[in-house]
Structure 1
Amino acid sequence: MQASFLSIYLLPMAIAIIMAGLGLSLTPADFKRIFIYPKAIIIGLVTQMLVLPVICLFIADFFNLEPALAVGLMLLAAAPGGPSANLYSHMAGGDVALNVSLTALNSVLSIFSIAWIVNFSLDYFMQTEAYVPMQFLKVVEVCAMIITPISLGMWVRHRFPAFAHRMESKVKLISGLFLALLIILTGLKEKDHLMHDIKSVGAAAISFNLACLLVGYFLPRLFKLPPKQAVAISMEVGIHNGSLAIYIALSILNNGTMTIPALIYSLIMFITAAIFAYWSQKKLAN
């Protein structure tokens, strides 16, 4: 019953609210910004969609994670940046406009990348005929869960800008509450082996989180991007949409164990991001 309530009702509702909230903050100009900051956008997207999955693959192999946990970690790497990245980027003094554009573009592109990364991970880590790849209809389902509420939110902002402005902060608050509830319910669902899995995947999740933040900052700096844009990219690739990863693990792949990496990551990423934001703010002030 709990699993049905979580996967059938709460998860789709949470994803819809989070994505609609993202749509309320977007305008067509956010998608056009790729022509204004092409170098920063390209570096951010390449880091998020190509570099991080490769790093995650090495981490999963290094820690010798059991197959379901390894796939769950890769699923988290495939998930786009979370809306909270904008808030943390603002706290850290980053380029928030760049964050908004990266979140929008990555959310759209992740429709295609998630299916490929998940299917590759299932094949690579399961190494048996027992795995079931994401079928076309499941990919369409993920697509609908991302694009439909974002489009609705953007339409509301275009049609009723004053209402969208008033609702934006409220929807963000509701999204945060839903995320907290998701973490609690997912933890309760997996409570029988949660502590064992934390011991198994905790170090890998923390390592991946720190790698996301550090690579997200220093790789753009290596390509001579300004510190503000490097901070924005770091937050974008360090704060993942854990709720989407949990939704795919439970509702698409029907595997509760695969939710554990996203659960642990969601618990620690806001702490490490806050510490990184404090460091970034101090660095930018000097």
Structure 2
Amino acid sequence: MLPFALAVIMLGLGLALTFADFARVMRVPRAVGTALACQLVLMPALCLALLALTGADTDTAVGMLLLAASPGGTLAAVYSHFARGDIGLNITLTAVNSLVAVVTLPLVMWGVTRHYVGHAHNIGLQPHGVVTLIVTVVLPVALGITLRRLRPGLAQTLRRAVRIVALIVLAVVTVGAILHNADQLGRSFGSILPLTAAFSVLNLVIGYWVPRLARVERPQAVASSMEIGIHNGALAVAIALSPRC
């Protein structure tokens, strides 16, 4: 059910995008490049350092690094709007990062599990795992963009329905996962909460100040902060629950 929920979410993202959103990368290369560098390189590295300092257990470490390496979520643009950020940049970053993640996430998780587990645990690295990412991320986004270009009226109607279906399915999956892992969550909640809270604050602060130091305008820095601080949790969970060998 989770891959279906993820595919629906990414279809909704695609219905909100146009090819111009990808072309915008060429108009604001510094803002996009800085944000992607933070998202893909800096934050996973800082997460690794934070985990080393706190001595987190293997399961916590792998889970946090998976989330750290995940692209920004679709809600980033909503929070960016409230904080007066560049919403167009958020849309561009979400689009580009979601596609780049098809390559970067399996590589990051291969290295992470090899380091923590002692061998490549193949989370998301197996051929069928990569195919799953393509089917649940790339194809729905491409379908959504194409529909919006060819049938804008239909795309607008579908966006509302897709949003509702995605929320319902994701809620069911999330509640099911929480109930299934209730005992483990109860045992580790006290140690995980401070760690995740600290990392979340780091995401938002670094996501804003690194672009500012790179002379990116404030609205774009706000967009970067929201994009880096709000991850695609559905994608992270889908990979975490994917079959392993």
Task: Report if TM-score (shorter chain) is over 0.5.
Answer: yes
Partner of 2:94: 103
Partner of 2:214: 223
RMSD: 1.7
Q: 2:184 aligns with which of 177, 187, 193?
A: 193
Q: 1:65 aligns with which of 56, 60, 66?
A: 56
Local SS of the residue matching 1:131: coil
- TM-score, length of structure 2 as denominator length: 0.94
For structure 2, which runs of at least 5 residues remain unmatched after alignment? Answer: none
Distance 1:178 1:214, change over 3 A: farther
| Cα distance in 2 between the residues matched to 1:173 and 1:22 | 13
On the 8 A contact 1:15/1:244 being kept in 2, the answer is: yes
Q: 1:101-250 maps to which residues of 2 (within 5 A)?
A: 101-127=92-118, 129=119, 131-132=121-122, 134-250=125-241
Local SS of the residue matching 2:72: coil
Local SS of the residue matching 1:251: coil
| Cα distance in 1 between the residues matched to 2:181 and 2:86 | 38
Distance 1:99 1:132, change over 3 A: closer
Between 11-20 and 183-192, report the one with greater CA deviation: 183-192
State the aligned residue count: 244
Partner of 2:7: 16
Aligned partner letter, 1:203: P
Local SS of the residue matching 1:75: helix
1:77 paired with 2:60, answer no
| Cα distance in 2 between the residues matched to 1:24 and 1:131 | 35
On the 8 A contact 2:129/2:242 being kept in 1, the answer is: no
Identity %: 36
1:92 is displaced (CA, Å) by: 1.1
On the 8 A contact 2:110/2:120 being kept in 1, the answer is: no
| Cα distance in 1 between the residues matched to 2:21 and 2:173 | 29
On the 8 A contact 1:79/1:245 being kept in 2, the answer is: yes
Distance 1:169 1:94, change over 3 A: farther
For structure 1, which runs of at least 5 residues remain unmatched after alignment? Answer: 1-9, 255-286
Aligned partner letter, 2:37: V
| Cα distance in 1 between the residues matched to 2:148 and 2:120 | 45
Aligned partner letter, 1:36: R
1:87 paired with 2:104, answer no
On the 8 A contact 2:99/2:138 being kept in 1, the answer is: yes
1:186 is displaced (CA, Å) by: 1.2
On the 8 A contact 1:57/1:74 being kept in 2, the answer is: yes
Distance 1:178 1:213, change over 3 A: farther
Local SS of the residue matching 1:82: coil
